[in-house]
Structure 1
Amino acid sequence: MLTPSPPAPLRRPRAPSASYTPPPLYGRPAARPAMASGAELAALRAPSPGRPEHVLRPRQLAAAEMVLSGALAPLAGFMTRREALHVASRGALASGAAWPLPVTLGDEEGRLVAVMEVEDVWQEGAGEWRVGGELRGVEAPVHRDLARLRTTPAAVRSALARGPHASAVAHFTRHAATPRAVAVARSAPESIAGPAACTVLCESDADYVCRALSWEAALRGGAGAARLSLVPAAVDAPRTRDGLLRLAALRSIVARNYGFSHVSVGPEPEHLDGLVGLRDSLAAAREMQQPTGVVPVLVGEAEQEALARELAALREGDLARAGARGRVARVLSTRYAPGSARGVCLFFTGLSGSGKSTIANAVAQRLLLCGDARPVVVLDGDVVRHNLSKGLGFSKADRRVDANIERIGFVASLVVKCRGVAICAPIAPYEGSRARARQMCGEHGAFVEVHVATPLAECERRDTKGLYARARQGLLKGLTGVDDPYEEPRAPELRIDTAGRTLESCVDEVMSALARMKLVHEDPQADS
């Protein structure tokens, strides 16, 4: 059950003078407060048997919190279908205010957070249902973890207004505190004249606790004052170039609503993964400069290179090379480990009959035989569908939602989080669902996508389950590769064509790739 608690104050001494005035909230926010009070609040809290209830998932709760706190001003609720389509096609709200990403409510027990005046209900193709409408806040969401770091936009704006600075810089981050990252956060960019207040806004997406604690430890003492605030990660942007650029643009709006004049643009996980260029993110933020008044500033090239090296070392679990020391190192050691001790998801994908399940099970046996101390769990597509996804069919509606792959990705992420090895072998025909599995597992460890690229003709020749014969006879509909598409991975970590090869050689290739990535110790040619 959620219980209310007051927002945490920003723990910095009050400055003797005030010369900084935070900008007003973005757009034209609603005239009435988002949180209900008085008789209206009592009416909303009263039992209402005819009122449907929806229990919010963490991401949905974060979005509601951002709306109610004013961090997503001028939004007063979740967008309707018409509003979401308007934003997606024109990059602006109906009022004309620039807006990069739709904020919608898609398809835990707790207190009543808000009541929505439902204005629209629609379905995304054959996917999940969405609901749009204005929110009336009842009780602010309460967090039992790191409450001391969770500050509302109003609290941040108030703290900024008390400082003797001429500008305020927001450093959004989704990575841990490394020495160069901390140095960048502590000092204003050279392009900013006069004193500036610097605040690290750590986004509370998956696996945020360790990152937030590392920043809290790193910012204690030392030269240069910097505040730390944990902000909800409200919008789950697609992990594509366009989605990530829209997210970069949205940060300018959030920065404005938190009271900042500048937003720092530096290396983040998506830049290290090559999904989007750093200067592309800067350009996206610059497009929002005129409507928001928030000026983007790029981290210097020397800092970029040093920070990228530290983050790469951190991903490999090399805390010493990442520069972690003292309390920061102790905090990070709970999350980051050397490659051979990290959790890892091996995600095999390919057509039916390509050999992915056979290779997956053989790799699992090799890991066990080579003495790998990590637990190994095999999540075969057919087995998972029978046990975890019973009731899901192969219709286009079921497969477009791809709930089976979502469930596999979720279970795999739990294994990875516990530093185990999850070996998945579904067909996983759609790029979007594979990307979501990568995101879920990648937050906790390594994700290795293996495309078993055996040609369709060879898969049909094998036809171990008789599926292709039935499909060609018209007795089976929706078979991937025949009358349902398979979207080939664009950049898998490994691609294997099993035609004309032995199982042993395929397993060796997988183990060799894992050894190159420093995810196993075993000699790839070891006799199993």
Structure 2
Amino acid sequence: MANTPHGGVLKDLHQRDASIQEELKAKAETLPHITLTERQLCDLELILNGAFSPLEGFLGKKDYESVVETLRLADGTLWTIPIYLDVSSQKIAEVGIRPGAQITLRDPRNDQALAILTVSDTYQPDKEREAIKVYGANDKAHPSVSYLWDHTQDFYVGGSVQAVSEPQHYDYVADRRSPAELRAHFKKLNWTRVVAFQTRNPMHRAHRELTVRAARSRHANVLIQPVVGLTKPGDIDHFTRVRVYKAIMPKYPNGMAMLSLLPLAMRMGGPREAVWHAIIRKNFGASHFIVGRDHAGPGKNSQGEDFYGPYEAQDLVLSFTSELDIEVVPFQMLTYLPDTDEYQPVNEVPEGVKTLNISGTELRRRLKTGAPIPEWFSYPEVVRILREANPPRHKQGFTIFLTGLHASGKEAIARALQVSLNQEGGRSVTLLLGETIRHELSSELGFTKRERDINVGRIGFVSGELTRAGGACIAAPIAPYEEARNKAKETISKWGGFYLVHVATSLEQCIKNDRTGVYAKAQAGEIKGFTGIDDVYEEPKNPDLRVDPTQTPISQIVHEIVLLLERDGYIGER
């Protein structure tokens, strides 16, 4: 059963009398509310504007189970990805979520009331079954399975939504169009055949060639519709990608192509996701949809194998051709032929002909190291944008995280390292000593495990921001717990280098070094929970460097840290 695109729940909002709209807004302010997550916000926006037609709300149990099992809603309509509002049992009790109840859904960015949900039912899903049926395996290497177990709440809420206001965007506003707006725009341009291209990555010459080939083969115009909602963790941010798309649009013949952004939360669901994307593009008015090799694939599973076969997505979409009401344009990966200076599908290249390609991993390596990126691969305008967003190592920030017992000598190492890095130049250098952080940032915290973890988390946050800004940060807390140190590493490593240095001075030597008498007070029981005395210090299992200033001069320790930075390209020749 095929669905017909509707104007979305926002259609009613746009057609309402102003007084009725004000009454609805006033009502929304009196109702109990749920503040949406980022994924829920993306889903709600596409429900409201009709991109998720025929959905007019979040799936109830009957529809959810049908989609999970059969790739269809309960009435038989093709729909492949379950769209639900997940909540905790505590939230259900707190808000009073029950069949018939009305709940205001609020934007997490500005607390704006977006919609009123009329609850149809609440239910507890079988997450393992959802993972296996929807994503093919209960394997946390899949980003959506990981999200399902680590971030999705235990109960789902179904129900229809009534629009109160449209989500507000402050970036690329002119490039955001609802399905109704885009269909009207196609009509204004007299575009009767439109081939849509889905992407969550920057576009290069091969992508431009692929889309032009698709348009040429179908006598169509091109809609570049990149995802600017949630994508795969680690993907390039959408601000950088949109700058790339805007740079590449003039490379198309005038009037051939246009750009429109899609605030979709991808699931990286491979075959099911490809069908879902086709339905969404039909709702936006496209007549054709490109499905490439490994469409919406999440990469490798826990066994190091691809989650989906390279053409599983194409096969599944093609099997629903009669229902989709949009023509699928399957495409092979393109490769560059240097001898003829052209791109060709890999399956059309004669045996023995020389080909060139640059993988995503290799591209990231070249960006990080500053290695050249050839013009046959990408346009200079695109490379410039990517280099601005992904500076080479010598322009990136880093954090040196020294951990060790009180009076281990880590503060002296940190100060000496600060002097050395200031002498090197090229970056601002910030020193975060344990006592300074305790006084300036964590003065209200005590020394329980939870409070120590909060303190290290704050250090990780500040260090991450300094690293992101391209600075050098030297942090020297005690940081006694391995889990908290690992979380700090995860926070900082997103933005630049992270080096864990264990200052492994023995407890006996630390006690000798102590000029404040705190160890003596701890041994006498005057101070409780003191690290090394009556509280544990978990030695790092895999530090980047382990040093002992009682055995090695501080100048040599600083030199060894500098050598680590030079080895990885953060300092040295520029």
Paired with 1:267 and 1:361, the residues of 2 have a C-alpha distance of 51
Amino acid at match of 1:497: R
Structure 2 vs 1, CA of residues 518 and 51 (structure 1 numbering), >3 Å: closer, same or farther? same
Amino acid at match of 2:200: F
Deviation, structure 1 residue 369? 1.3
Q: 1:231 aligns with which of 262, 273, 284?
A: 262
Deviations 1:425-448 (A, max 9, x none): 563625873475147x43xxxx22
Paired with 2:573 and 2:210, the residues of 1 have a C-alpha distance of 39
Contact 1:356 1:425 in 2 (8 A): yes
Deviations 1:288-326 (A, max 9, x none): 974895898663576753554444323345576577656
Aligned to 1:113, the other structure's residue is in SS state strand
Aligned to 2:425, the other structure's residue is in SS state coil
Paired with 2:449 and 2:151, the residues of 1 have a C-alpha distance of 10
Structure 2 vs 1, CA of residues 476 and 199 (structure 1 numbering), >3 Å: closer, same or farther? same
Q: 2:240 aligns with which of 198, 210, 216?
A: 210
Deviations 1:452-495 (A, max 9, x none): 3567x956874777599779999439999977988957xxxx72
May I ask how many residue pairs the two structures share in their alignment? Answer: 466
Amino acid at match of 1:213: R
Aligned pairs for 1:256-271 (under 5 A) are: 256-259=279-282, 261-264=289-292
Match for residue 92 of structure 2?
A: none
Paired with 2:454 and 2:262, the residues of 1 have a C-alpha distance of 29
- Report which structure shows greater RCO (CA 8 Å, sep ≥6): 1
Paired with 2:114 and 2:26, the residues of 1 have a C-alpha distance of 13
Structure 2 vs 1, CA of residues 194 and 325 (structure 1 numbering), >3 Å: closer, same or farther? closer
Q: 1:511 aligns with which of 549, 553, 562?
A: 562
Q: 1:221 aligns with which of 219, 228, 251?
A: 251
Contact 2:522 2:530 in 1 (8 A): no
Contact 1:149 1:230 in 2 (8 A): yes
Deviation, structure 1 residue 344? 1.3
Amino acid at match of 1:371: G
Match for residue 43 of structure 1?
A: 23
Paired with 1:424 and 1:208, the residues of 2 have a C-alpha distance of 31
Aligned to 2:168, the other structure's residue is in SS state coil
Aligned to 1:143, the other structure's residue is in SS state coil
Structure 2 vs 1, CA of residues 425 and 45 (structure 1 numbering), >3 Å: closer, same or farther? farther
Contact 1:376 1:420 in 2 (8 A): yes
Unaligned segments of structure 1, at least 5 residues: 1-22, 238-244, 524-528
Paired with 1:480 and 1:404, the residues of 2 have a C-alpha distance of 20
TM-score, normalization: structure 1? 0.62
Contact 1:113 1:141 in 2 (8 A): yes
Amino acid at match of 1:201: P
Aligned pairs for 1:312-351 (under 5 A) are: 312-317=365-370, 327-328=381-382, 331-332=385-386, 334-340=388-394, 342-346=395-399, 348=401
Structure 2 vs 1, CA of residues 397 and 512 (structure 1 numbering), >3 Å: closer, same or farther? closer
Contact 1:351 1:459 in 2 (8 A): no
**How much is the aligned-residue C-alpha RMSD, in angstroms?**
6.0
Q: 2:545 aligns with which of 496, 509, 526?
A: 496
Does 2:33 match 1:33?
no
Aligned pairs for 1:445-456 (under 5 A) are: 447-452=496-501
Paired with 2:311 and 2:532, the residues of 1 have a C-alpha distance of 43
Unaligned segments of structure 2, at least 5 residues: 89-107, 125-147, 231-235, 283-287, 321-327, 336-354
Contact 1:169 1:261 in 2 (8 A): yes
Contact 2:223 2:258 in 1 (8 A): yes
Deviation, structure 1 residue 249? 6.7
Q: 1:366 aligns with which of 416, 420, 434?
A: 420
Match for residue 200 of structure 2?
A: 172
Which of these two proteins has the greater Rg computed from alpha carbons? Answer: 2
Contact 2:366 2:372 in 1 (8 A): yes
Aligned pairs for 1:383-394 (under 5 A) are: 383-384=436-437, 386-391=439-444
Deviations 1:407-431 (A, max 9, x none): 5455445434443334455636258
Deviation, structure 1 residue 148? 2.2
Deviation, structure 1 residue 140? 1.5
Aligned to 1:519, the other structure's residue is in SS state coil
Structure 2 vs 1, CA of residues 421 and 451 (structure 1 numbering), >3 Å: closer, same or farther? closer
Amino acid at match of 2:501: V
Match for residue 431 of structure 2?
A: 378
Does 2:430 match 1:429?
no
Deviations 1:37-67 (A, max 9, x none): 3377443311666445677787765454344
Amino acid at match of 2:9: P
Aligned to 1:231, the other structure's residue is in SS state coil
Identity fraction in percent: 20
Aligned pairs for 1:56-95 (under 5 A) are: 61-62=41-42, 64-71=44-51
Aligned to 1:452, the other structure's residue is in SS state strand
Paired with 2:150 and 2:362, the residues of 1 have a C-alpha distance of 43
Paired with 2:524 and 2:281, the residues of 1 have a C-alpha distance of 57
Structure 2 vs 1, CA of residues 202 and 195 (structure 1 numbering), >3 Å: closer, same or farther? same
Deviation, structure 1 residue 368? 0.7
Deviations 1:112-161 (A, max 9, x none): 33345588899x99999999655533222232321122233555677789
Aligned to 1:230, the other structure's residue is in SS state coil
Structure 2 vs 1, CA of residues 448 and 177 (structure 1 numbering), >3 Å: closer, same or farther? same
Contact 1:252 1:285 in 2 (8 A): no
Amino acid at match of 2:113: L
Aligned to 1:46, the other structure's residue is in SS state helix
Structure 2 vs 1, CA of residues 169 and 177 (structure 1 numbering), >3 Å: closer, same or farther? closer
Match for residue 226 of structure 2?
A: 201
Amino acid at match of 1:199: I
Amino acid at match of 1:150: R
Aligned to 2:199, the other structure's residue is in SS state strand
Deviation, structure 1 residue 204? 5.2
Does 2:167 match 1:141?
yes
Deviations 1:338-397 (A, max 9, x none): 432x2313253756568766655543332111122x222334566445533554566666
Match for residue 253 of structure 1?
A: 276
Deviations 1:257-285 (A, max 9, x none): 233744445899997xx999997265499
Paired with 1:72 and 1:392, the residues of 2 have a C-alpha distance of 47
Aligned pairs for 1:178-197 (under 5 A) are: 178-180=204-206, 182-184=208-210, 186-188=212-214, 197=222
Contact 1:98 1:288 in 2 (8 A): no
Deviation, structure 1 residue 201? 0.8
Aligned to 1:497, the other structure's residue is in SS state strand
Paired with 1:382 and 1:334, the residues of 2 have a C-alpha distance of 36
Paired with 2:541 and 2:31, the residues of 1 have a C-alpha distance of 45
Deviations 1:165-194 (A, max 9, x none): 696442222xx44445544555459xx986
Deviation, structure 1 residue 232? 2.7
Contact 2:7 2:49 in 1 (8 A): no
Amino acid at match of 1:171: T
Amino acid at match of 1:228: L
